[in-house]
Amino acid sequence: MQDINSFKKLLDKPKRIVIVPHVNPDADALGSSLGMASFLKKKGHEVKVISPTDYPAFLNWMKGNDEVMVYNDGNESAANDIISDAEVIFCLDFCSLNRIDKMEQPIREAKAVKVLIDHHHGKEDFADFECWNTKAAATCELIYQLVVDMGEQQLIDKHTAEALYAGIMTDTGSFRHPNTTKHVHEVVAELIGLGADASKVSKLVYDNNSLNRLRFIGFALSERLEILEEYNTAYFAISAEDLSKFNSRTGDTEGLVNYALSIQGITMAAIIIEREDAVKLSFRSIGDFAVNELAAKHFEGGGHKNAAGGISRVGMKETVEKFLKLLPEYEKQLHSNQKKQEIYLT
């Protein structure tokens, strides 16, 4: 935080506060939102978490989940009134207002003091206070550090610690990604010391599958996984019919792209999913290949170097064709990166 003293003064007296995560919140977005909400409530503030959209059922265990308002679930009018009346708005795990879908305009027009806490690239200058660090592994890491810097670590209870732990655990790929630093391990050690049950959180997030989801994953691996060895690339193309066949719920495609990336010799993996409003894309890579640049240039997206997302306004078939036609443009980078990885592993 650039001015921690002014920020502390802002929160000295009880205020009406709204917390907003990005569209389709993941564990880091929801964990940071509910963790911050719990912290602020302990300070006497009136807090409401409003999510632009629904989120995976495997995150419902987080304390405060039952009080989250989902904006696009028929709550637009009520949510807009709450936003308009807010004195402070926290924007968590996103740094550009186009990442909150239909909530963008109400938040942009709100007169409240706006606080940005995030670790993604592509920051928009809309906030009055910023805690923005692209070197951080997760927004939950930044939330914890901010609370410590404010000297109020004692307000983090077991439930808050577990929500923050979940966000860090998932955004580091269970501490396997290159963003797993010494500081990350120090933070999670302190969260465990504050009561977070690491084993329980891991089980709730990763070992809490529905039978339909497991069958869907098996189908996707056997019928929808495509390998393009000449480009060191693998991808899934999942149609709306595929999702319907397995009664897919929010979050059922989460992590699927990582199966493709785990294949030996693969530098970039993608999942292309046909949704009602648009075609959504998720990219993963290893090494120096920057999928956030690819996503930003071609699919209105962005994110981290090795994990990014995008959107396509044309149909599923056209989107897949566009993706495939892009690969020759990146062929040298994909091959070069793979050679570096082979050297690294020897």
pLDDT in tens, 153-174: 999 999 999 999 999 999 999 9
3-state secondary structure the chain: CCCHHHHHHHCCCCCEEEEECCCCCCHHHHHHHHHHHHHHHHCCCEEEEEECCCCCHHHCCCCCHHHCEECCCCCHHHHHHHHHHCCEEEEECCCCHHHHHHHHHHHHHCCCEEEEEECCCCCCCCCCEEEECCCCCCHHHHHHHHHHHCCCHHHCCHHHHHHHHHHHHHHCCCCCCCCCCHHHHHHHHHHHHCCCCHHHHHHHHHCCCCHHHHHHHHHHHHHHEEEEHHHCEEEEEECHHHHHHCCCCCCCCCCHHHHHHCCCCCCEEEEEEECCCCEEEEEEECCCCCHHHHHHHHCCCEECCCEEEEEECCCHHHHHHHHHHHHHHHHHHHHHHHHHHHHHHC
Average pLDDT per 10 consecutive residues for the chain, totaling 346 residues: 89 97 95 98 97 94 97 95 98 94 95 97 92 96 97 96 98 92 98 97 93 96 97 97 93 93 96 93 94 94 89 96 96 77 51
Which amino acid type is present at position 62?
A: M
pLDDT reported for residue 346: 47
Residue ranges of domains in the chain, CATH in brackets: 4-206 (3.90.1640.10), 211-345 (3.10.310.30)
pLDDT reported for residue 250: 83
Give pTM, 2 decimals: 0.90
Among the listed residues 139, 193, 134, the one whose alpha carbon sits nearest the alpha carbon of residue 166: 139
Q: How far apart are CA 188 and CA 171, in angstroms?
A: 13
pLDDT reported for residue 342: 54
Q: How far apart are CA 57 and CA 178, in angstroms?
A: 28
pLDDT in tens, 125-152: 999 999 999 999 999 999 999 999 999 9
Cβ neighbour number for residue 313 with a 10 Å cutoff: 11
